[in-house]
Structure 1
Amino acid sequence: MNTAPLPDSGISPGLAPGSRARMTFAGALSANMLNMIGVGPFITIPLALAAMGGPQALLGWLLGAVLCLCDGFVWAELGSALPRSGGSFHYLREAFGPQGLGRLLGFLYLWQTLLIGPMSIASGTVGMAHYLTWLEPGLSATAIAAIAATVCLVNLVLLWRDIRVIGMLSVATSVIVIGSCLWIIASGAVHFDAARAFSFPPHAFVIDGGFWMGLGAATLIGVYDYGGYNTICMIGDEVVEPRRTIPRAVLWSIPLVALLYIGLNLAILGVLPWQQGMQSKAIVADFMAAIYGPIGGRVVTVLILIASWASALMNLLGASRVPYAAARAGDFLAVFARTNARGDVPAVSLLFMGLASALACLVSLDTLIAVMIVVQTMFQYTAQCVAVILLRRRQPQADPGQFRMPLYPLPVIVTLAGWAYIVTTARPLHILAGAGMIVAGTLLFLAIARRARQWPFSSLKAFRP
């Protein structure tokens, strides 16, 4: 790849990591939690109820929390060992060898991010626009897509500033988002009806193929909703004391959000019959309207819109650092290494991700969610478990201040088993999409490597004219 100095255009090629502004633990934890909460649980609770056919869908949320916590240990250890912006791009390259297989896996992660990153961001803004229909029932599909795309573009503009400002914004918004969740949970607790919440259908716990497929679908939904605990790993260069801050932010965010999600589920199920809930298009608004009347539904809808916007903002923040990191390492188009004039914003990478996410808003929400999780699981999440093992073998003793997961290798084994379960219970079309992404990325990498006479075609240099 071309890594020559860039011409002067008001956009600089980037500064050394140590010269950038820094995000504190409070900002890091807030960024993770904002990305995790978003619109996810507010639109997917009906999907989980439908997947399992009753309130036993709570099992999917619990299994998803256990799986994500085990995966969080993987992210925490990798983020502490290699605290650099770009996250998995560096983890996979270093673990599998930066001059060998690691080049391919790093490129595949970059390829995945270019395709899936915009879909992940768009899923938040599309979900946000769908929730807006509770306030404006007449919104057409075109209007929903246009609103979602506009939010992506607004976030693009908002992220064109110092990371410290983003950190303060994430803390302030977290207070609103978490406060809203606590209000919803408290409202449900006051009106909670245990008989309604746990009115399981007769077939609820019949362990057969349908049960396992339904649980897999509910767990996939849970994993999507918990997703975002790795946000801080994407901006490691911009974090204060990253070897300590990154693991703390990852491992605190997962149980905190899990408690909120389980509380939300129980609160809603204790007020709305699950048969009604699984048909709802805005379940939390319907829930609050049942308690406080239409004004309650409108107020909570506004709060959910704020949470959705903030989640998409943090998602774009993390995704924009991956092509930038790859370009700085010389493994992607050099133009993506350009920053703004101050040198504290990855300008071209942010522009690409922001505009691509706006275009991805044309895809349906359920397709965005399913394809995104299956593709990431098939490649990135599985490969990272192997990366931890390889790095441990290479460096048995941790450096001072470096985090190491407890009970190793148990969390890695549980994580691998969980990802395998999600993939094997996914729809064949989504599995095919994941396999196609990996094959296409591999062929593209080999074509580029052959042209540049790089691994695995390094020996061809001898025949170069």
Structure 2
Amino acid sequence: MSQMCGIGPFVTIPLMVAAFGGPQAVIGWIAGAVLALVDGLVWAELGAALPGSGGSYRYLREAFQHRSGRLMPFLFVWTAMLFIPLIMSTGVVGFVQYLGYLLPGMTQGQSDLVGLALVVVVTLLLWRRVESVARITTVMWAVMIVSVAAVILACYTHFTPSRAFSWPAHAIQLTHGQFWIGFAAGLTIGIYDYLGYNTAAYLGAEVKDPGRVMPRAIVYSIVGIMGIYLLLQIGVLGVIDWHEMLDPGSTASQSVASAVLERTWGRGAADVVTVLILITAFASVFTGLLGGSRVPYDAARDGVFFRAYGRLHAKHRFPVLGLLTMGAVTAVGFYVGRHVSTSAAHPPLTVLIDLLTTVMVLVQALAQIVALTVLRRRRPELERPYRMWLYPAPSILAAVGWLVIYGYADRNSPGFHPIEWSLAWVAAGCGAFLLWAKFERTWPFGPKEFADGPDLSDQPDQPDQPELTL
């Protein structure tokens, strides 16, 4: 839950209202929770069956190694090195937006410098041995809870039901194409806000009884966060007229939580909560880059990515290249996102969210759903302490949800071509894999190596062979 709820809801409530065109935006939070739940069950089964470290690249390696060697785990790490820092870029954008409430005289150039400086400061803070991650996460969770609780309490002490529940005429027209465009945009924003429900799966090697703990961690966290988001969205709509959130120059659009506190408890309370939100945004970028820098490191150490990413700092023992790469992409994502979008209809956050989700869909979301079915067929003997409820219905529903997000991405960000960019990035990853595979002399330029032993699918009568470790 700490990973799921950072700066996200404080900056995406106006985006959700804009996507649906009114207070019916609550549909987006519910739809995002449903997609997170069914996709979370995919993570739950894979994580319980393969509870080691590595998460997605481990599942993809196990499922697809007999067909394509190490291609799929390599592509996952390749795409993760783009979508993880893009997620952090949205945190930097949120930080700058809320800082603008405290310093309304900031120019765009000054805001850009602040955002880039934030990335540099976080990178420098991580340029050392980090021994207190648990305390940092706990502090971030406590600050976030205080911020959310303050905003929710302020909303419902000055709540106007007619403002929150007066939906415009024809708010839901299932036969109208424009509704589904808005629904897809809201679903994209919603799943972005729920991202993090898979954190337990990445910690599988350190979770006791993963077959029992992992499904509960995923389901309970999603349901809990959905409750928080619905309280926030409905509460904000009961204080602020939703039309104000559509004005890109208004406080309600740029820093909606500050606007709520100012109207209910006064400017002083708004300033205090804004500072707490800034701390939350900073902490989310800090912990995100901390974890993100370890993804290419773990993959390189497991032999599925460039060796240079598997090297640690000689003194402080952190992955140098992973941290520098993630920090650089975060800075570029923030700066480009701020300047590539000048349209009020498509603010920087919307563009960044569309880009990062489309990059995620192909190699992580959809490929992992396929991996679940492949492993059920190829490795029926694999111990599965948790099996997906109502299989394969949740897998199919998750695939449909991700395809809706992907299929509508270009229409929700016209002129920015997120689908084409995602395909280009995956194609570049395939090229990078071929260069890496040639250097490493692995498939397709050498023999395949299997994490679960040689492929005996075509030779069922041969005796078992020793396990090969990557």
Q: How do residues 40-55 of structure 1 correspond to structure 2 at under 5 angstroms? A: 40-55=8-23
Closer, same or farther: CA 347–457 of 1 in aligned 2, 3 Å: closer
The TM-score with structure 1 as length reference comes to: 0.85
Contact 1:70–1:411 (8 Å) recurs in 2 = yes
1:372 matches 2:353: no
Aligned match of 2:442 in 454, 459, 462?
454
Closer, same or farther: CA 398–161 of 1 in aligned 2, 3 Å: farther
Closer, same or farther: CA 165–244 of 1 in aligned 2, 3 Å: farther
- Which whole-Å CA distance do the structure 1 matches of 2:85 and 2:108 have between them? 19
State the Cα RMSD in Å: 2.5
Aligned match of 2:110 in 131, 140, 143?
143
Contact 2:18–2:245 (8 Å) recurs in 1 = no
- Report the alpha carbon displacement of residue 145 of structure 1 after superposing the two structures with TM: 2.6
Q: How do residues 94-109 of structure 1 correspond to structure 2 at under 5 angstroms? A: 94-97=62-65, 100-109=67-76
Match of 1:111 in 2: 78
1:339 matches 2:312: yes
- Report the alpha carbon displacement of residue 101 of structure 1 after superposing the two structures with TM: 1.7
1:426 matches 2:394: no
- Which whole-Å CA distance do the structure 2 matches of 1:159 and 1:234 have between them? 20
Contact 1:108–1:441 (8 Å) recurs in 2 = yes
- Which whole-Å CA distance do the structure 1 matches of 2:46 and 2:131 have between them? 24
- Which whole-Å CA distance do the structure 1 matches of 2:33 and 2:317 have between them? 35
Which amino acid letter does the alignment assign opposite residue 449 of structure 1?
A: A
- What number of residue pairs does the alignment pair up? 426
Q: How do residues 361-440 of structure 1 correspond to structure 2 at under 5 angstroms? A: 361-364=334-337, 365-366=348-349, 367-396=351-380, 399=383, 402-427=385-410, 429-440=417-428
Gaps of 5+ in 1: 1-32, 461-465
Match of 2:30 in 1: 62
Gaps of 5+ in 2: 248-252, 338-347, 412-416, 449-470
Cα deviation digits, residues 313-367 of structure 1 (max 9, x gap): 2322331121112211223222211234578633432333234323332122332
Closer, same or farther: CA 368–274 of 1 in aligned 2, 3 Å: same
- Which whole-Å CA distance do the structure 2 matches of 1:234 and 1:156 have between them? 22
Which amino acid letter does the alignment assign opposite residue 390 of structure 1?
A: V
Match of 2:241 in 1: 273
- Which whole-Å CA distance do the structure 2 matches of 1:408 and 1:159 have between them? 42
SS at match of 1:271: coil
Contact 1:80–1:242 (8 Å) recurs in 2 = yes
Contact 1:35–1:312 (8 Å) recurs in 2 = no
Which amino acid letter does the alignment assign opposite residue 423 of structure 1?
A: Y
- Which whole-Å CA distance do the structure 1 matches of 2:393 and 2:301 have between them? 35
Q: Identity, % of aligned pairs?
A: 41
Q: How do residues 297-376 of structure 1 correspond to structure 2 at under 5 angstroms? A: 297-341=270-314, 345-364=318-337, 365-366=348-349, 367-376=351-360
- Report the alpha carbon displacement of residue 248 of structure 1 after superposing the two structures with TM: 4.2
Aligned match of 1:72 in 40, 45, 59?
40
Closer, same or farther: CA 201–74 of 1 in aligned 2, 3 Å: same
SS at match of 1:37: coil
Which amino acid letter does the alignment assign opposite residue 82 of structure 1?
A: L
Closer, same or farther: CA 85–165 of 1 in aligned 2, 3 Å: same
- Report the alpha carbon displacement of residue 451 of structure 1 after superposing the two structures with TM: 5.4
- Report the alpha carbon displacement of residue 71 of structure 1 after superposing the two structures with TM: 1.0
Cα deviation digits, residues 221-243 of structure 1 (max 9, x gap): 11111112223434545556666
